[in-house]
């Protein structure tokens, strides 16, 4: 069985701190078998890691749109942020990427609203039904219901911004996924929904502070 995490943040995210060495160790010890690196509005690090680890690293990007954040998976180059969400989706599809909806309906983070999701539902490939960092506002059950009603596959991801958060929430599929097979594999997937250590929830603020103070992550 293959353990995949489709939402993580490396040192290239202003609020992330997962290093090349740590991603490599996770794959080596099989804590996870496939990891999507989905930095905020950036793909440079993910592309570098994909060149090293090939199918075990998925190039992703958590993209800021005018209506909230969405993720593009299996990208080849950066998607420009701060566009209308429909244009962002067009840009993802131009690269034959997959549209993944992270932490939908959240207001404490930049999740898209249900009204927005309804306007793009035909283009959505995967809905995040469990986000490992969704402790104070967990919209996972609502996201799961929406996905089931609209025949969309779901996933569990860590949204890890540092080492302590990764390897807790993930999705188990029966074989190594590719761009062509991921959605189909998720139809029969198992979701692991363990919570990370509570202090790991402070990573984004801590990492932003380190950037501001120009300290190494």
| Domains along the chain with CATH numbers | 2-212 (3.20.20.140)
Sequence-separated (6 or more) residues with CB below 8 Å from residue 14: 40, 207, 208, 211
State pTM to two decimals.
Answer: 0.92
Task: Extract the tokens encoding 130.
Answer: 């469990």
Tell me the mean pLDDT in the region 48-77: 98
For residue 3, the SS3 value is strand
213-216: long-range contacts, CB 8 A cutoff, minimum separation 24: none
The larger pLDDT score, comparing residue 81 to residue 109, is at 81
Q: Among residues of the chain, what percentage have pLDDT more than 90?
A: 82
Q: Read off the pLDDT of residues 39-61 as tens digits, 9 standing for 90 and up.
A: 999 999 999 999 999 999 999 99
Task: Extract the tokens encoding 161.
Answer: 């911004």
Closest CA to 114 of 127, 131, 125: 127
Residue located via tokens 């929406």: 146
pLDDT for 213 equals 64
Q: Among residues of the chain, what percentage have pLDDT more than 70?
A: 92
pLDDT for 109 equals 85
2-8 and 68-73: which strand pairing? Answer: unpaired
Task: Extract the tokens encoding 17.
Answer: 């701190």
Instruction: Tell me, rounded to whole angstroms, the distance of Cα 116 from its chain centroid.
Output: 19
Tell me the mean pLDDT in the region 21-39: 97
pLDDT band, very low/low/confident/very high, at 101 (cuts 50, 70, 90): very high
Distance in angstroms (rounded) separating the CA atoms of residues 8 and 207: 14
């Amino acid at each position: 069985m293959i353990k995949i995490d489709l939402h993580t943040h490396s040192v290239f995210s202003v609020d992330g701190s997962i290093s090349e060495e740590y991603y490599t160790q996770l794959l080596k010890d099989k804590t996870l078998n496939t990891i999507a690196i989905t930095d905020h509005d950036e793909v440079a690090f993910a592309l570098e890691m994909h060149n090293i680890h090939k199918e075990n690293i998925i190039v992703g990007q958590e993209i800021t749109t005018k209506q909230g954040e969405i993720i593009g998976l299996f990208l080849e180059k950066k998607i420009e942020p701060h566009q209308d969400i429909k244009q962002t989706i067009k840009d993802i599809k131009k690269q034959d990427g997959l549209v993944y909806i992270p932490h939908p309906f959240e207001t404490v983070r930049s999740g898209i609203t249900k009204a927005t999701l309804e306007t793009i539902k035909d283009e959505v490939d995967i809905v995040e039904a469990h986000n490992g960092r969704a402790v104070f506002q967990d919209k996972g059950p609502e996201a799961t219901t929406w996905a089931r009603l609209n025949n969309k596959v779901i996933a569990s991801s860590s949204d890890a911004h540092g080492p302590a958060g990764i390897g807790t929430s993930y999705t188990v599929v029966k074989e190594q996924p590719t761009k062509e097979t991921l959605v189909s594999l998720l139809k029969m997937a198992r979701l692991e929904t363990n919570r990370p250590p509570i202090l790991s929830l402070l990573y984004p603020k801590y990492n932003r502070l380190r950037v501001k103070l120009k300290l190494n992550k």
